[in-house]
Each structure stands twice: as structure tokens, then as C-alpha cells.
Chain A
């Protein structure tokens, strides 16, 4: 794997990590409470 490929791979991993973290936090703050509220109804 040359330098350019490994750089791209690193960027890709960073983007995925950021995306996943945001999705997890959003789920915890917003989706799960909404879902619980829905179930309670």
C-alpha cells in the first residue's frame, strides 16, 4: 500500500468514526428518548 492510499484510508476511517460517533450521541440524546416516549403512549 503506497503513501497516498494509506492517507486516503486514514481519512475514510476518520470520517466513518466521526459519523458513527455523531449518530450514537444523537441516538442517545434524541432517538432513544423519543422512542421511549412513543412506547409509553
Chain B
């Protein structure tokens, strides 16, 4: 739990610094919460970029990061004290007591799920992408004291803003802290949803919307992994929030701020481009609706695009300078650098057509495997008809609906993976909450409340079930080794490698990408195959000539010709098997080449 306290300290340092910066542009806010959300978003973005600059300069040392955090904390003292003084705990408590039973239940469910997620985030890191690059690349950056291109990797020059926070965790020797940054972004999104919905709808709707969002299985599960989708969701949402404030206030500052946040979305993931396109379409819609003069519209659009570019360009220019492609390895045809067949790894298995699109709400819940496996949860589908009562085409709900529909279409055409559409979870749950209280208006419809409570209780049970071992780990009845042996398929092999192989060994990993737990240099076989000029056999021969011990890790039987040639008449130095499913056994074998 020390990691959680560190996280809070870093959050408040970022909040304070963000608040100082934000107040240069925006003087008044609707509520303290609104100010907290925007300041934290800005402050965390600034912190992430500061770590990035330190890393680029090759100063990635504990002392430098500590100095940076101390500077942030020092700047934050004033705003933090002001925040503490402005919190009226008694008033808050009175409001909670005044809530009805249903709202108290919602609040309790929210707090309980969040507490379980803290346990989940505090457990040792697991998960494919987290251990393949979200954490393993920052680990290498920390070892090298520098951020840069890692040879034989696909992702090391991608926008890595969230990974900058993971790096803070790793440099402070706490992978739990690294994971907790993702938890933080999930929680901040829920707070942003609350603030937005309370401002434009009501407090009750705000509470319901944030609880529905946070209790969606896809969200609370992601909170416990070192992924980047929740940070992308958070910045996409605050960018939308600022955009709505611009529509309402007509103040250019909010549009620029929206551009800054969209730039931060693009600094997190290349797929942040979805948010950018939808936001651009949205802005054009507002111009059309407001009948804005062309010159004014052009200057507004220019300000927005410029702020997006200035905030996000650092990552793309770097990739272009090093590899000749700002979005390496994608768009090979345009930049003549990258992989011509790489896209396959990004496209989900769902077939796409008009009929499939119309069936999407059903399939997202009942056949979630087609969309990456994350779950939006049953509440989405069960309460979907309530959308029609949320006055979909009136006031702010119209803007939410436009954003939701455009994003869904674009997402469906580009990459229909549920975790890339978390921002839409926020939008749809705001609409469902609005519809829910419209149906309930002045009536006590207990059955509907009871059904919704039942679904939330089910999600809570699911959260508890998925995190049961993390809770055991948190209370000390399971140690790190036991936890990882149970949850990480490659951990036993990594343990063997770390304990037995020479320190300068290189392990080429075939059919396994998770390198985080290997304290030896690892290279992905499939990436080596794609980017190595000399071919794998010659590459291995070159390493052996230099006297570097080279090992090959395979998973079960491998039919690849090069692997067959490499392994001719060799016997594994170590092998270990595990049950994948009933009757299916997977064998990890390590060969000395």
C-alpha cells in the first residue's frame, strides 16, 4: 500500500503544478472537482513530458527523477493547500446522508470496486502487452538511463506518454506504483464523468454514470494492468469536456485546451488519431450549426490543430528522424519504411458489414471474444433502451450522441477492439444514466432499480473473483513467486534463465513476447525475422562468433523452417510444460544455440 501513498503524493504534486498552469488561462470553474480534473490532466501531462525530456537527455537516474518530483511538489504547495481548505467535508457528508438508499448503494459499490482494484494494481505485473512492451521497454530505458530506439522492437519509438509514468514507478523500484498510474487514470476518468454529468445534468445522474463506467468489467480489469487504454480514455474525455465548454462559453481558451488534451491522447497511442478525427468532425459540425463566419472558423480550427501538433509532435518527429516513418511500422506504402503486413496484428477477428454493425450492441456483450475479449458488461445491453429517454437530440446529449456515433463508426471501420473504445463507454453510460432518471421521474420504479443493482452486484462479484489472488497477495497469504507462477505463463522459464544463464546471454523468443521478467537481453523472433538484414541464421552465427551465448526459447512445436534449422539435433537445456485448457498442454523449451 506504500505504492498507493506514493501515487497520491505524485497526483497532488501534478495537480498543483497543473493548477498553476491552468489558472494562467482559465480563471473560473463550475466546481472544485472540475478544477481538480482539468488541473490533474494538465499536470500529469506536464510531468510525463518532463520525464520524457529527462530520458531523451540521458538523465534517467533516480536522483534526477526525485529532483523533478520535488520541483513539482514544491510548485504544488500553494494550490494543494487551497484545495484542502476548500474541501467542505461536513457539507459533503451531509450530501451523502441526504442521498436515497439507491444512491448510497451506488456509492458503496463504487468505493468497494475501487478498493479491490487497488489490490489488483498492487499485485505483480501480468498481461501480454504490459510485459511485452508497456513495462519491458521502460525497464530497458531505466537500465540504459536513456530513452531511445531499442533494436529489434516494433514499439520502442511509439508515443509513450503513459510509459513515462510507468518509468517513474520502475525507477523508484516499484512495479506496483507503475501499474497504479493506470488505476489512477481510470479513477480520474470516473471523476471527470461525474464532474461533466453533474454540470450538465444532475448529481444523481453523475453518480450513476460514473459508477456504471467504473463497474464495467473492461474498465475495472484494465485498471489493474499496466496498459495505456484508460489514460487514452481519460484524455479523450477531458478533451471532449473542454470542447463542450468551448461550445457553451465560446471562449477560444477551451478549444485550445481541448487541442492540448487531444495532443496528449496522440502522445499516448497512435490510435489516438481516432479521437482527433472525431473531434475535428465535431468542431466542423459546430461551425456549421452556429453559422460561424469562415475566417473565424479557420482561425479556431488553426488554433486547435496547432495545439494538437505542438503537444504531440515530439513522438512522431522522433520516430520519423530515426526510422523514416512517424507511425512505424504502419503506413509502409506511404513512408517506404515499416512492415507491409503489420496491420494484421491490429485487426480483430470480427467480420464487418452493415448487418454486423447493427448487431454490435448484442455482440459486444454476448460475443466479446470477437472484439478483443474485454467486457463492456451486461448493463450496457440490458439498459440500452433507456437511451431513448435521455432526450438524445437535445442540448448536451446531442453533442454526446454525435461524438458517440462518429467514434463508433470510425472505431468499427479501423480497429473494433473494445479497449480502444473506452471513451465510448463513458459516453453511453452518461446517456443511459440520463435516460434512467428520466424514466424514474417522480416515480419510484423499484423493479428497474433492483435490476440495475443486481447487475452492479454481479460486476462487483466479478471484480472480486478476478482479483481474488491479488487480494491474497495484498494481505500476505500469497507471495510474489506463487502469484506469478499461477498467473504468468513464462515466469517459470524467466526464473530459470535469471538464475542459471550467463549475464551476457541473449534469448531469442519464438511465440512468446513477454520479456519483462527476463533479466537477460531478449529479442522477439518474429520481429528479428522482419527487421534483420542478414537473416536469422547469419545473425545468430554472428553473435556466436563474438562469443555471446545465444539461446532460443520456443513454445510447443514450432514449424518454422529457420527454427528447425537452428535446432537441428539439439536438446533443450530446460523445458517446462503447463496446462492451457483441459487436454491442451503447452511446453516451453530453452535451447542453447
Shortest distance from the beta carbon of B365 to any chain A beta carbon, whole Å: 7
**Contact, CB under 8 Å: B439 / A23:** no
**Contact, CB under 8 Å: A15 / B366:** no
Cβ of B447 within 8 Å of any chain A Cβ, yes or no, is: yes
Interface of chain A residues 1 through 41 with chain B (CB within 8 A)? 11-12, 14-16, 18-20, 22-23, 25-26, 29-31, 38
B 452-469 binary contact with A (CB < 8 Å = 1; else 0): 001100100000010000
Cβ of B382 within 8 Å of any chain A Cβ, yes or no, is: yes
Q: Determine which of B365, B447, B448 lies in contact with A26 in the assembled complex, contact meaning CB atoms within 8 Å.
A: B365
Shortest distance from the beta carbon of B440 to any chain A beta carbon, whole Å: 10
**Chain B residues near A25 (CB, 8 Å)?**
366
**Contact, CB under 8 Å: A26 / B451:** no
The listed residue with most B CB atoms (<10 A of its CB), out of A11, A18, A19, is A19
**Contact, CB under 8 Å: A31 / B458:** yes
**Contact, CB under 8 Å: B458 / A29:** no
**Contact, CB under 8 Å: A14 / B385:** yes
**Chain A residues near B381 (CB, 8 Å)?**
22, 26
**Contact, CB under 8 Å: B451 / A23:** yes
**Chain B residues near A14 (CB, 8 Å)?**
385
B 367-393 binary contact with A (CB < 8 Å = 1; else 0): 000000000001001110110000000
Cβ of B445 within 8 Å of any chain A Cβ, yes or no, is: yes
**Contact, CB under 8 Å: A15 / B385:** yes
**Chain A residues near B383 (CB, 8 Å)?**
19
**Contact, CB under 8 Å: B465 / A16:** no
Docked pose: A16 CA to B449 CA in angstroms: 10
**Contact, CB under 8 Å: B454 / A23:** yes
Docked pose: A41 CA to B365 CA in angstroms: 25
Contacts A23-B451, A23-B454 given: A12-B439 contact, CB under 8 Å? yes
Shortest distance from the beta carbon of A32 to any chain B beta carbon, whole Å: 12
Q: Determine which of A16, A23, A30, A38 lies in contact with B455 in the assembled complex, contact meaning CB atoms within 8 Å.
A: A23
**Chain B residues near A30 (CB, 8 Å)?**
366, 378
**Chain B residues near A18 (CB, 8 Å)?**
382, 385
Q: Determine which of B366, B378, B447 lies in contact with A16 in the assembled complex, contact meaning CB atoms within 8 Å.
A: B447
**Contact, CB under 8 Å: B382 / A16:** no
B 258-285 binary contact with A (CB < 8 Å = 1; else 0): 0000000000000000000000000000
Q: Determine which of B366, B445, B454, B455 lies in contact with A12 in the assembled complex, contact meaning CB atoms within 8 Å.
A: B445
**Chain B residues near A31 (CB, 8 Å)?**
458
The listed residue with most B CB atoms (<10 A of its CB), out of A20, A22, A29, A31, is A22
**Contact, CB under 8 Å: A19 / B365:** no
**Contact, CB under 8 Å: B385 / A23:** no
Shortest distance from the beta carbon of B418 to any chain A beta carbon, whole Å: 15
Docked pose: A36 CA to B576 CA in angstroms: 29
Interface of chain B residues 423 through 455 with chain A (CB within 8 A)? 439, 445, 447-448, 451, 454-455
**Contact, CB under 8 Å: A15 / B458:** no
**Contact, CB under 8 Å: A29 / B366:** yes
**Contact, CB under 8 Å: A19 / B439:** no
**Contact, CB under 8 Å: A16 / B385:** no
B 97-108 binary contact with A (CB < 8 Å = 1; else 0): 000000000000
Shortest distance from the beta carbon of B183 to any chain A beta carbon, whole Å: 24
Shortest distance from the beta carbon of A31 to any chain B beta carbon, whole Å: 7
Contacts A12-B439, A31-B458 given: A19-B451 contact, CB under 8 Å? yes
Shortest distance from the beta carbon of B464 to any chain A beta carbon, whole Å: 12
The listed residue with most A CB atoms (<10 A of its CB), out of B382, B447, B451, is B382
**Chain A residues near B386 (CB, 8 Å)?**
15
**Chain B residues near A16 (CB, 8 Å)?**
447-448, 451
Residue of A nearest to B461 (CB): A31
B 237-277 binary contact with A (CB < 8 Å = 1; else 0): 00000000000000000000000000000000000000000
Q: List 10 A-B contacts (CB under 8 A).
A: A15-B386, A15-B448, A16-B447, A16-B448, A18-B385, A19-B382, A20-B451, A23-B382, A26-B365, A26-B378
Residues of A within 8 A of B (CB): 11-12, 14-16, 18-20, 22-23, 25-26, 29-31, 38
Residues of B within 8 A of A (CB): 365-366, 378, 381-383, 385-386, 439, 445, 447-448, 451, 454-455, 458, 465
The 6 closest A-B pairs by CB, nearest first: A22-B382, A19-B382, A26-B378, A22-B381, A19-B451, A15-B385
7 A-B pairs besides A19-B451, A22-B378 with CB distance below 8 A are: A15-B448, A18-B385, A19-B383, A22-B365, A22-B381, A23-B378, A30-B378
